[in-house]
């Protein structure tokens, strides 16, 4: 059976699809915050591995096959981040919105003369 991924178009629908994916495979018991955080970092490490030893210029001009591999690791990392947030009851958009507001206070933009 293939997954119906056409209905995934935003974070809530992605979260719901991931819940169903895990539940259909009886993976939910393994999806503890600890396991999900560790899995996310493993995927982030797989992402970083693609850039290890690359020059800044090389990292900005990835060949198509390499970009495809990076794309998959970005997806893996995002999937585990969403599952981690879901396991902890964290609204990712609200958390990001709050953090941006906090960062704006901590790092005010320099005034630019007109």
Q: How far is the CB of 76 from Mg ion (least distance, A)?
A: 4
76 binds Mg ion (CB under 5 A): yes
Q: How far is the CB of 25 from Mg ion (least distance, A)?
A: 17
DSSP, collapsed to helix, strand or coil, labels residue 62 as coil
Return the structure tokens found at 3: 């997954």
> Which CB sits closer to Mg ion, 17 or 46?
46
8 Å CB contact between 3 and 79: no
> Which CB sits closer to Mg ion, 49 or 98?
49
Q: How far is the CB of 7 from Mg ion (least distance, A)?
A: 23
> Which CB sits closer to Mg ion, 69 or 87?
69
Cα–Cα dist 75/43, whole Å: 9
- Binding residues for Mg ion restricted to 46-75, rule: CB under 5 A: 46
- Binding residues for Mg ion restricted to 20-49, rule: CB under 5 A: 43, 46
8 Å CB contact between 3 and 17: yes
Count Cβ neighbours within 10 Å for each residue of 4-21 and write b for 16 or more, e otherwise: eeeeeeeeeebbebbeee
Binding site for Mg ion (CB under 5 A): 43, 46, 76
């Amino acid at each position: 059976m293939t997954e119906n991924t056409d209905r995934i178009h935003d974070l809530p629908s992605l979260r719901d699809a991931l819940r169903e994916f895990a539940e259909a495979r009886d993976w939910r018991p393994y999806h503890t915050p600890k396991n999900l955080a560790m899995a996310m970092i493993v995927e982030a490490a797989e992402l970083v591995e693609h850039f290890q030893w690359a020059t800044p210029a090389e990292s900005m001009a990835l060949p198509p096959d390499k970009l495809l591999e990076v794309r998959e690791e970005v997806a893996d990392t995002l999937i585990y981040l969403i599952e981690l947030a879901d396991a902890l009851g964290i609204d990712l958009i609200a958390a990001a919105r709050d953090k941006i507001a906090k960062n704006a206070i901590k790092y005010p933009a320099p005034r630019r003369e007109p």
